[in-house]
Amino acid sequence: MSRVIVRIPTPLRPYTGGADEVEIEAATVGEALRSLGGRHEGLLARVCAADGSLRPFVNVYLGAENVRDLGGLDAPLPRDGAVLAIVPAVAGGAGSARERRLAELKASVPEVSPGEALARQAQGAALIDVREADEIAQGSPRGAFRLGRGFLELRIEEAIPDTDRAILVMCGGGTRSLFAAEGLQRLGYRNVASVMGGFSRWKAEGLPFETPRGLDPHARERYARHLTMPEVGEAGQRRLLDSRVLLIGAGGLGSPAGLYLAAAGVGTLGIVDHDVVDRSNLQRQVLHNDERIGQPKVESARRTLQGLNPSVKIETFAERLSSANVERILAGYDVVVDGSDNFPTRYLVNDACVHLQIPCVHGSVYRFEGQVSVFWPQCPQRRGPCYRCLYPEPPPAEFAPSCADAGVLGVLPGVVGLLEAVETVKLLLGLGDPLVGRLLHYDALHARFDEYHLVANPDCAVCAEGRPFPGYVDYEAFCATAA
């Protein structure tokens, strides 16, 4: 064994921490290079090919002699203090800071081919596309997390909480992904690799990808605060834009619910209301204004909502909801927001929603108090009750006077209607814990929220498991008889 000084050329010094000479103990040239590579990860691959031979653009000199003329890598090292110099081909000038930084990254971040990345993804690895939205719009690997380089460190923990999960980072050409992978390593992710050649090579090799439906620049600007949330993001916003929500009533509850659902980007809002705008409505029904007194509420609501968000489609039904038209109107909607102010309509909406398997977001107000719940017996998270389970029969008139008779604090429907909008967005995005099997009660005078647990009635006439739908009834007569 001999002690030999290996001289490191400038392009390879990032791998040796900047050292220009390294002392190695070895018997042959090849052994010295392998020992050098073992001490400085990534360096050997820049000097030797995969089969162990010297790369054609690298020469190694023992003293003044090229080792290729001395028997190659098997050439023995003659004595202690010999000098082994690595001399690669260079184009002149010093390496740029960018090149040195990339060399450092390549030494610390493993790289895999697109084909290997696809195989690892099939085995459970997470493939992260860190390109910008306009790049992703041209295509992205199927099943990839599209997080974007700018917000990667902020979003990664929500998307991939397991720091031991294998992660493959992809960009356009394989450079940005090295920086992104290093950032993930610093966050504590232990199994991170960069995809060589990025999406350009992925596509060139014919690997599967898709062209996701993107948002136009106006939508990106409008929904920017949603797009930065990992729980919503672009996929969630597209889901909202594809959603259909029906508002029962354009009054005190339908007004705040409609405004915030339109602002959130719910693609289609239906509004059912047969009434016209009255001056007494304006104390709480913020969809309307003084100039529209006497106009149909659905038309007034349409003008306000489209003024707020022109991209939302508004479907109007200027008719009284009845057993004859309820299925025609409700069919095709994802969620129904019940802001009705009378019991016949509430029972009718409940029965239709149970029959059509549509979640019903319920809200009601009385003077200084409000209630919110979600009636959805078919909820996959847990079986909840329907409105009939909670109230098999309507109360007598003295227990439930209308707003016109009892009055209502003008701002109270704003609180309850906003809570209905929150529950609706949660349902559309599949987020959180909806108010299924729970009744939220708000007491404005005491600024207090209380929650009550609700249980499905196993003998409910409408939603009991295995019981056929009994059909619609004359709800006006049902409520009058019960009262």
Catalytic residue IDs: 403
The DSSP secondary-structure symbol of 41 reads T
Instruction: Tell me whether residue 276 is exposed, middle or buried, using C-beta atoms within 10 angstroms of its C-beta: 0 to 12, 13 to 18, 19 or more.
Output: middle
| Locus of tokens 């979600």 | 374
Strands of 360-435, DSSP E: 360-366, 369-375
User: Measured in whole angstroms, how far is the alpha carbon of residue 41 from the centre of its chain?
Assistant: 37
Which DSSP string corresponds to 421-462?
HHHHHHHHHT-S--SBTEEEEEETTTTEEEEEE----TT-TT
Host H or E run for residue 478: helix 475-482
Q: Coil, strand, or helix at residue 61?
A: strand
Contact criterion met (CB below 8 Å) for 455 and 387: no
Single out the residue of 360, 384, 380 nearest to residue 463, CA to CA: 384
Strands (E), 211-300: 244-248, 268-272
User: For the chain, first and last CA: distance in Å?
Assistant: 104
Give every CB contact of residue 392 below 8 A, 6+ residues apart in sequence.
Answer: 457, 460, 461
Which DSSP letter does residue 150 get?
Answer: G
Closest to 361 measured CA to CA, from 343, 334, 322: 334
Output the CA–CA distances (angstroms, integers) from residue 265 to 25, 101, 150, in the order listed.
68, 43, 24
Mapped onto helix, strand or coil, the DSSP state of residue 6 is strand
Residues 276 and 440: beta-carbon distance below 8 Å: no
Mark out the alpha helices in 230-374 (DSSP H runs): 233-241, 254-264, 297-308, 326-330, 343-356
Q: Cα Rg for the chain, rounded, in angstroms? A: 34
Tokens of 54: 């010297």
